[in-house]
Structure 1
Amino acid sequence: MTSRLYDSIEPNVIDEEMLQKAVEEQGPKEEAGQLAKREGINFKDVKELQLDFRNILKIDNLWQFVNLTKLQLDNNIIEKIEALDSLVHLVWLDLSFNNIEVIEGLGALVNLEDLSLFNNRITKIENLDMLQKLQIFSIGNNNIGTLENLVYLRKFKHLRTLNLAGNPVCENEMYTMYIAAYLPDLVYLDYRMLEDSTREVAFIKYQYAIEEMKHGETVALAKQEAEAAKQKELEYHKAAYVEYLNGSYLFDSMYTEDPEASKLKYLPGVPEMLDTYKSKFVAICENLFEYGLKQYEKREAEVVLFYECLNEALEDNREQGSKIMADFEEKHLRALEAIQTISETELVESKLGEYNDDITKLSETLMTLEMQLVDQLEEVIKDFERNISDLVSIFIENEQGLMAQCRDLENHHHEKLLEISINTLEKIVKSEFDEEIPDDVRMLFVDKDTIVNAVNASHDIHLLKIDNREDEIITKANSWASTLIQKVHKNEITRNRDRVKEINQFIDYLHNELETMDVLEQ
């Protein structure tokens, strides 16, 4: 293992002064460099940064380099990979010749293609799952000791160059053969191209083990894809505010948090009654689920239609405005050329006055066109807001109606359960109840108040669950509509301000040219 550099020198951290100096050293030279130094360098514009041989102990303060693609941190004394999360555009990273013991802190670097951890103290290849674009990986001169750990690299489908030279694992006589078998797409290993003959022998030697592994990978991939599809479907249901309503989830949750329900189900006739209740309750939930999905599609279609109309109006307006401005600029050039050929002062002033009037008319024309668009979009937005409000109101109204049916079922079940409970109490008091029930259930029947309170407590929990689910749906639907409409209005205000500013800037430009022309003629 190569000795660490700067062991006797005071360690550094990456601070503003170091970064500024590094950027200046690596930036443009001569006149361009002096200009950049005077005006200041924006770290966001830096694409490559060298911080090697600086005795750095801790990575820090790189968050401003959001567009960095290449970073050199080699030949320092860094012990921990950290503070790189903002460097999402990084393609090339060199952390070789440091004191790193664990691979970590690289999860955000999803665009990384070339990674060097050469000459560190790493014992395990791990925590690189997000680096799916990785093509070149150098981790030689570390402490990796097991062949099995190298199988981890199979998940990097673009990996073509791998350097492990100098690790204890390389001393295994089966090292090269193992790599060739388990990483079939690898081209270069430890600075040498893998020979086809080596691959063929490796395939034969590890054929059965690899086939078994591939089967496991296929099963795992299928499971992963199924989970992803399930999650995608759940997100779709959440967007419609009806997640988990396509089954017994709401009903089951009512009883999961109800300690009395498990006792009351031992009463005669209650299990059968509960089955009937659940069947009807779940059917209502499934109706709500299907209705919610249909209404979601209607809302989404309305949003798509609105933006189609909006973009069509904007495009028509842009085309009209562009044509008006282009026609004027053409006329503008001819007018200036004509004015320059006139020698009589009075006639020049007259022409300049006419041209100034034309600019004023152009401004009025463009502003009128913009105001027409504002009025048009105001009507479109009003219609959209009304349609969205109607869709959400209809959805909420019908959702409340279905939830009311759930409450009716719960109330009916509660009445029946209370009737059975009181009848059971009367039988127990008269010693006419012969059925076996657990002791904790029998304790409910000490008197009427106890059993009534238990049944009512169970009922209250169920109603609260139904009410909360209903409120959740209403709140989310109203919040979505409110947020959407606010965004539409905000975007229109911003668009209008930008357009007015754009028009004014164009008019100012024309006036400035005219004033310059006037001065020249004087």
Structure 2
Amino acid sequence: MSTQGEDTVERRAVMNRLCNSLEPRVMDDNMLKLAVGEQGPQEEAGQLAKQEGVLFKDVLSLQLDFQNILRIDNLWQFESLRKLQLDNNIIERIEGLENLTHLVWLDLSFNNIEAIEGLDSLVNLEDLSLFNNRISKIDSLDALVKLQVLSLGNNLIGNMMNIIYLRRFKDLRALSLSGNPIAEAEDYKMFIWAYLPDLVYLDSRRIDDHMKALAAMKHQYGIDELKHREALMQAQLEEEQALRQQLQEHKAAFVEGLDGSFLFDSMYAEDVEGNKLAFLHGVGELLEAYKNKFVVICLNIFEYGLKQQEKRKVELDTFNECVQEAIQESQQQGKDWIAKFEEKHLMSLTAIRDESDLASMELRITEYNKDITELFDLLMTLEMQLIEQLEETINMFERNIVDLVGTFIENVQSLLAQCRDLENHHHEKVLEIAINTLEKMAKGELDEDLPDGVRALFVDKDTLVNAVGASHDIHLLKIDNREDELVTRVNSWCTRLVDQIHKDEVMRNRKRVKEINQYVEHMQSELDNLDCGDILD
């Protein structure tokens, strides 16, 4: 657990003297290499590591305190780092930590940091010290879901509501806030004990269970109200998450937005003329009937799409199971052959070592070479058989998935054609009503009072027909675009899936052949070394 002792003032004085005597520094490769070298092992292994060079990506702990560092930089190579010590510098911003995703412990105490930031990628951080900085607000820690220890003493935090923010960290057990303005509040400890009930240590002192219970009683009303708000917020978050998950499922089926009137509404969203024509007598009822039929077809597409997605998923799952079963069976056969070979291998090497006659030894070595070659041939034959089996399985899957996608597209296009038929029928009816209205206006027989914008369409027949036609074109374009989008996406998905499967199989085969060659070469090397040694003897 990160704590700060009573020597805070003395340490700060030491740092100030150091800062005044040195120029501000930026973290560069030379500084990092020096730090890694100094902190590495000093015995023979350490000296060898220094000669060969230490890879930054393998370093687990890095200490860079009292270096007069102004800016965090050049840490991107330390991808395995778990502990980073940057205390007692003059750092002003938390930055440059994006690649340190394995970091568990971070010390940024005794710096000049004014805001908590730049920690979003540190999802494994458990211990964070920002003691003795210039921070006035506790925020931007949301990604630190594993946070257990937080040291924020000697900062400028003055609002007690900052404590409420910390309730989201369910694993937080130790908190340091002494030396902040809020620590001077009369109710400071009782408030924290009440609102952070899982806390075990506050300002380096263990919290008494009895005092925690008293604090909970004192603030019961506020806590109950807060819990109610938190429950509402949690329910809202869960609902939003469920909606996002649902949308992703609909997108995976390529039918998002087709479970209601979204497509129909989009047809009229930018249709100025169509919205004007809706004022004509009879068009409103016609539009309502049109919408109901259109939405029913969209729902049919939606439900059909979900069912087809489930079929594609079952097909893919079955394919993956078949592939894994074939690979495991082949691997087991290979392991069995290797086990038999290695059993014989030990006896053969022992027999060669014990052989005193050179001619007999050479004969045994020749036999052993044959065994190695035979094993290689067996393993490669097994791999070739697997390749043929998987190729047949992949080709069958490809045919099935292409057929499923083709059937899906064909049926969706058929249903969307029904939408176009509805649109064509609606267009004819609207045009008929519009022309009748124009004729009535020309005869002075129109009883209804139309808005000026609508009357402007009835200048002459050409203007009217063009307006109705423009509305019709917009509707058809929306349907066409949705169809094109669906077809393009599902075809792209199918192509990417099949290409990736072929690519994965090529990579698997290359890896397996490499494994076989490396194993056989190792066996051959053992024999060659033994042979050379015997010859030298």
Normalised by the length of structure 2, the TM-score is 0.94
Aligned 1:473-492 pairs, distance under 5 A = 473-492=486-505
Is 1:291 the equivalent of 2:304? Answer: yes
Residue in structure 2 matching 1:22, options 35, 44, 49? 35
Determine the C-alpha separation between the residues in 1 that align with 2:104 and 2:532: 55
Is the counterpart of residue 206 in structure 1 residue 222 in structure 2? no
CA distance in 1, matches of 2:74, 2:489: 39
* Structure 2 residue 446 is matched with structure 1 residue 433: yes
DSSP 3-state at the match of 2:438: helix
* Per-residue CA distance 1:24-64 (angstroms, 9 max, x = gap): 11111121122111222111111111111111111111111
- Out of 118, 130, 141, which is 2:131 matched to? 118
Counterpart-to-counterpart distance in 1, 2:145 and 2:366? 66
Aligned mate of 1:148, from 158, 161, 182:
161
**Matches of residues 325-404 of structure 1 in structure 2 within 5 Å?**
325-404=338-417
- Which of 258, 261, 274 aligns to 1:245? It is 258
Q: AA paired with 2:175?
A: L
Which residue of the partner structure matches residue 4 of structure 2? Answer: none
Q: Deviations over 1:154-210 (max 9, x none)?
A: 111111111111111111111112112211221211122222342233223211111
Distance (whole Å) between structure 2 residues aligned to residue 157 and residue 147 of structure 1: 19
* CA deviation after TM superposition for structure 1 residue 227, in Å: 0.9
Residue 247 (structure 1) shift = 0.5
Number of residue pairs matched? Answer: 522
TM-aligned CA distance change 1:210 to 1:344, over 3 Å: closer
Match of 1:303 among 316, 319, 337: 316
Alignment of 1:7-156 (within 5 A): 7=20, 9-156=22-169
Once residues 269 and 7 of structure 1 are traced to their aligned partners in structure 2, the CA distance between those partners, rounded to angstroms, is 86
Equivalent AA in structure 1 for residue 285 of structure 2? E
Residue 284 (structure 2) pairs with residue 271 (structure 1): yes
**Which residue of structure 1 lines up, in the alignment, with residue 201 of structure 2?**
188
Q: CA deviation at 1:7?
A: 4.4
Please state how far the C-alpha of 1:466 moved relative to its aligned partner: 0.9
Counterpart amino acid of residue 231 in structure 1: R
Unmatched 5+ residue regions in structure 1?
none
Give distance in 2, aligned partners of 1:237 and 1:493: 32
Q: What is the 5 A alignment of 1:456-467? A: 456-467=469-480
Tell me how far apart the structure 1 counterparts of residues 174 and 524 of structure 2 sit (CA, whole Å). Answer: 62
Moved more, 449-458 or 353-362: 353-362
Aligned residue for 1:49, secondary structure, equals strand
What's the offset of the Cα at 1:323? 1.1
Task: Give me the whole-angstrom Cα distance separating, in 2, the residues matched to 1:336 and 1:51.
Answer: 53
SS of the equivalent of 1:35 reads helix
- Look up the match of 2:467: 454
Q: Which residue of 2 aligns with 1:424?
A: 437
Give the CA deviation at 1:387: 0.7
The change in CA–CA distance for 1:263 and 1:15 in structure 2 (over 3 A counts) is: same
* Structure 1 residues 408-437: Cα deviation after superposition (integer angstroms, max 9, x where no partner): 111111111111112211211222212111
- 1:335 & 1:184 partners in 2: Cα distance? 68
SS at 1:406's partner residue?
helix
Superposition deviation, residue 356 in structure 1: 2.4
Q: Is the alpha carbon distance of 1:155 and 1:53 closer, same or farther for their aligned partners in structure 2, counting shifts above 3 Å?
A: same
1:219 to 2:232 alignment? yes
**Residue type of the alignment partner of 1:408:** D
**Percent sequence identity over aligned pairs:** 61
Q: Secondary structure at the match of 1:260?
A: helix
Unaligned regions of 5+ residues in structure 2, if any? 1-8
Taking the aligned partners of 1:14 and 1:282, their CA distance within structure 2 comes to 62
1:166 aligns with 2:179: yes
Q: Distance in 2 between matches of 1:224 and 1:434?
A: 54
CA distance in 2, matches of 1:124, 1:339: 76
TM-aligned CA distance change 1:150 to 1:337, over 3 Å? closer
Counterpart CA distance in 1 for 2:439 and 2:489 is 47
Tell me which amino acid in the other structure corresponds to 1:101. Answer: E
The 1-side partners of 2:37 and 2:130 are apart by: 27
The residue type equivalent to 1:17 in the other structure is: N
> 3-state SS of the aligned residue for 1:198?
helix
Aligned CA RMSD, in angstroms, stands at 1.6
What is the CA-CA distance between 1:8 and the residue it aligns to?
5.8
Q: 1:515 to 1:169 in 2, by over 3 A?
A: closer
One-letter code aligned to 1:169: I
Q: CA shift at 1:237, angstroms? A: 0.8
Structure 1, residues 373-432: CA drift from partner, whole Å, max 9, x if none?
A: 111111111111111111111111111111111111111111111111122112112222
Q: Which has the larger displacement, 380-389 or 505-514?
A: 505-514
Residues 432 and 488 of structure 1, relative CA distance in 2, 3 Å threshold = same
Q: TM-score, normalised by structure 1?
A: 0.97
Rounded Cα–Cα distance in structure 1 between residues aligned with 2:106 and 2:239: 34
Task: Return the match for 1:405 from 380, 396, 418.
Answer: 418
3-state SS, counterpart of residue 458 of structure 2: helix
What residue number does 2:332 align with?
319
1:508–1:209 distance in 2 versus 1, CA, 3 Å:
closer
Q: Counterpart of 2:525 in 1: which secondary structure? A: helix
Shifted more, 28-37 versus 240-249: the winner is 28-37
